């Protein structure tokens, strides 16, 4: 994709992987709008030199109005978590919490359904899933289910969207604000979570963002899943 004069909307673009993707695309000359819910994160994105807008991916009316106001655009990236994530053994899990984990999927489907009509003819959508969708771990059934649904959705919808494209980036453990713990507890958690990987460390947002940029800008990719996980899914 020739990036000259292109416009990108990034949902969840005010923190973590979304913010890193926004900064990288802006550096390539793309007109980027970072979209998020949190006032604090919106300020962080603005301080990084990005244009920002506030929206919630679960608010269909608000999202539709936002897309209408910013149309047309060439790239739509969805990195918003949508809401809480349930963890732990399924048989001991609060089923309401498990169901709430799918808010990520509903946010993504809202974005694609409402945003795709405003994409340019050669436009692209990128969704973010997660390595548990490809190689589950005990206690990660909610992440596995939601990530798997995101990937199946993208593969299934690719034919309907053509010639517009849709791809998925699947990260492993990434050191982002998603992990609420800090200090030694944070370092120990991230070390223990990754010590069996081929690359035994957490990723950083910029490493995932480079794959997001690839998926958004490579004109010969659609319906693809890109693993950037330090070897999580490798045998």
* Long-range contacts formed by 88-97: CB under 8 A, 24+ apart: 88/139, 89/138, 89/139, 90/141, 93/141, 93/142, 97/142
In a domain, 232, yes or no: no
In total, how many domains does the chain have? 1
In a domain, 207, yes or no: yes
| pLDDT of 108 higher than 70 | yes
Question: Residue 206 belongs to a domain with what CATH number?
Answer: 3.40.50.720
Taking residues 7-18, report their average pLDDT: 97
In a domain, 234, yes or no: no
Mean pLDDT, rounded, of the chain = 95
Q: Exposed/middle/buried for 75, CB within 10 Å: 0-12, 13-18, 19+?
A: buried
Say what the pLDDT of residue 180 is.
65
128: left (phi over 0), alpha (psi -120 to 50) or beta: beta
In a domain, 119, yes or no: yes
Helix, coil or strand: residue 10? strand
Say what the pLDDT of residue 186 is.
84
Taking residues 12-35, report their average pLDDT: 97
- Taking only the tens place, the pLDDT of each residue in 58-81 is 999 999 999 999 999 999 999 998
In a domain, 92, yes or no: yes
Helix ranges restricted to H, the chain: 16-27, 39-47, 60-70, 95-100, 103-115, 141-161, 183-194, 205-217
Q: Quote the percentage of the chain above a pLDDT of 90.
A: 86
Q: Which helix (H) or strand (E) element contains residue 173?
A: none
59 token code pair: 């608010």
CA distance 12 to 52: 11
In a domain, 79, yes or no: yes
Say what the pLDDT of residue 82 is.
80
Domain range spanning residue 79? Answer: 7-225
Using pLDDT thresholds of 50, 70 and 90, give the confidence band for residue 105. Answer: very high
In a domain, 59, yes or no: yes
- Taking only the tens place, the pLDDT of each residue in 159-196 is 999 999 999 999 999 998 766 677 888 888 898 889 98
Taking residues 107-136, report their average pLDDT: 97
Say what the pLDDT of residue 179 is.
66
In a domain, 230, yes or no: no
């Amino acid at each position: 994709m020739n990036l000259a004069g292109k416009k990108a909307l990034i949902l969840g673009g005010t923190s973590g992987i979304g913010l890193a993707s926004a900064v990288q695309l802006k550096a390539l000359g793309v007109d980027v709008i970072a979209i998020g819910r949190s006032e604090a994160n919106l300020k962080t994105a603005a301080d990084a030199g990005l244009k920002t807008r506030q929206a919630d991916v679960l608010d269909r009316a608000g999202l539709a109005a936002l897309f209408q106001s910013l149309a047309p655009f060439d790239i739509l990236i969805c990195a918003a978590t949508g809401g809480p994530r349930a963890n732990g053994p399924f048989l001991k899990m609060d089923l309401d919490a498990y169901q709430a984990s799918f808010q990520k999927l509903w946010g993504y489907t809202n974005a694609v359904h409402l945003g795709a009509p405003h994409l340019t003819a050669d436009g692209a959508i990128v969704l973010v899933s997660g390595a548990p969708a490809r190689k589950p771990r005990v206690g990660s059934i909610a992440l596995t289910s939601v990530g798997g649904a995101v990937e199946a959705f993208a593969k299934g919808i690719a034919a309907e969207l053509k010639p517009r494209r849709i791809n998925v980036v699947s990260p492993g453990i990434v050191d982002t604000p998603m992990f609420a713990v800090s200090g030694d507890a944070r370092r120990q958690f991230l070390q223990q979570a990754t010590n069996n990987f081929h690359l035994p460390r957490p990723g950083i947002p910029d490493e995932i963002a480079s794959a997001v940029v690839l998926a958004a800008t490579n004109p010969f990719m659609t319906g693809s899943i890109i693993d950037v996980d330090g070897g999580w899914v490798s045998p």
